[in-house]
Amino acid sequence: MKALLSKAPGGPETLELTEAADPVPGTGQVVVRVRACAINYPDVLIIEDRYQFKPPRPFAPGGEIAGIVESVGAGVTAVRPGDRVIAMVGHNGLAERVAVDAARLYPLPDGRSFAEGAALLLTYATTIHALLDRGRLAAGQRLLVLGAAGGVGLAAIELGKAFGATVVAAVSSEAKAAAARDAGADETIVYDRAPFDKDQSKALAERFKAAGGKTGFDVIYDPVGGDYAEPALRAIGWEGRYLVVGFPAGIPKLRLNLTLLKSCDVCGVFWGAFAARDPKGNAAHVDHLFRLWEEGRIAPRVTETYPLARGGEAIAKVSARAAIGKLVVEIDS
């Protein structure tokens, strides 16, 4: 089979499209013929050896796939060859086939494309866990979303609106603001690109405070980090929840006196660990997502597709924070 392999640490330009051995399903596993693989920020980190998990090389990046079950291993009864499925595989998704535990599979609904299916789980499951479990978001509350035009950002807008919040979306361009409004944002803020000096940081904080109103934001969803974090934290309300989701702009250092003054919580969001520790809770969230998807209240926004040979280009665009919505690599059957 063909696979886009990482053979040494480095950027997307180091990936090699080459032949690899076909996977064989072990006990409790299936082999999926991959038809689509969504690109996410962890794909940037994993090939540079900067992610929490470091798989042995060679491996293919790509943790979120949709495809067709091709073969099943011993003990697998819930799915069979020919079933359309989606799954989180961690890595090895940028290949024609991948072996995955059958317990990780979800059926791809009829009428949904493989590209849509590949773009659902990571962003929306991360976000529903963040907003409900960590952020305790409730109807009528105010939600600030940073990096709001990326995959998780748009998911946060849609889910925030589905849960009855007023959503303010912060982005880095007018094109991204348009995407955020299309996803349902009530208000948008276009901020400059970091790094910020002291005056720029203060000015951004004032813009966030104005958008938060007299009581500030109840929940702040931050998948960006860097110099954007402190200005956002300064706009949080009393007993608000600041959700730490990711750091493409760098790992910030927050002033803890700000948390004392607002009696607020800074909450880490590690969906992968949550799903492993509480599979029943995660399954309930995924069921909730499928219902919202069926109702049309959420919809993965696939804005660009790439062939397997150009998968590195998609990873590079995500790395540059230039993507709007989800980028998906489509793999021919």
Measured CA to CA, the distance from residue 106 to residue 290 in angstroms comes to: 10
Could you tell me the pLDDT band of residue 234, with boundaries at 50, 70 and 90?
A: very high
Name the amino acid, one letter, at 159.
Answer: L
Name the amino acid, one letter, at 187.
Answer: E
What's the average model confidence in pLDDT over 284-308?
96
The overall average pLDDT reported for the chain is 96
What's the average model confidence in pLDDT over 103-116?
95
| 300: DSSP letter | -
Residue 74, pLDDT above cutoff 80: yes
What's the average model confidence in pLDDT over 202-231?
97
Angstrom CA distances, 120 to 111, 127, 237, 253, stand at 15, 11, 31, 31
Instruction: Provide the 3-class DSSP secondary structure of residue 201.
Output: helix
Could you tell me the pLDDT band of residue 333, with boundaries at 50, 70 and 90?
A: low
Measured in whole angstroms, the distance separating CA 128 from the mean position of its chain's CA atoms is 11
Residue 5, pLDDT above cutoff 80: yes
pLDDT of the residue at 159: 98
9-37 burial, b for 16+ CB within 10 Å, e for fewer?
eeebeebebeebeebebeeebbbbbbbbb
Q: What are phi and psi of 329, to 5 degrees?
A: -95, 125
Measured in whole angstroms, the distance separating CA 156 from the mean position of its chain's CA atoms is 10
Closest CA to 238 of 209, 264, 213, 219: 264
Residue 53, pLDDT above cutoff 90: no
What's the average model confidence in pLDDT over 205-217?
97
Residue 13, pLDDT above cutoff 70: yes
What's the average model confidence in pLDDT over 79-101?
97
Strands (E), 104-235: 105-107, 142-145, 166-171, 187-190, 217-222
| 216: DSSP letter | -
List of domains in the chain: 2-120+300-330 (3.90.180.10), 122-272 (3.90.180.10)
What's the average model confidence in pLDDT over 259-272?
96
The residues that bridge with 241 in the sheet, in sequence order, are 219, 265
Measured CA to CA, the distance from residue 252 to residue 228 in angstroms comes to: 8
CA neighbours closer than 13 Å in the CB half-sphere of residue 110: 0
What's the average model confidence in pLDDT over 114-118?
97
Residue 97, pLDDT above cutoff 80: yes
Name the amino acid, one letter, at 145.
Answer: V
pLDDT in tens, 150-205: 999 999 999 999 999 999 999 999 999 999 999 999 999 999 888 999 999 999 99
Answer whether 231's CB lies under 8 Å from 201's CB. yes
Angstrom CA distances, 128 to 68, 102, 214, 239, stand at 26, 23, 27, 20
Measured in whole angstroms, the distance separating CA 164 from the mean position of its chain's CA atoms is 21
What's the average model confidence in pLDDT over 15-24?
96
Name the amino acid, one letter, at 22.
Answer: D
pTM: 0.93
User: Which ranges of the chain does DSSP label H, i.e. alpha helix?
Assistant: 41-46, 114-118, 121-128, 151-162, 174-182, 198-212, 229-233, 256-262, 271-277, 279-294, 311-319
pLDDT of the residue at 52: 85
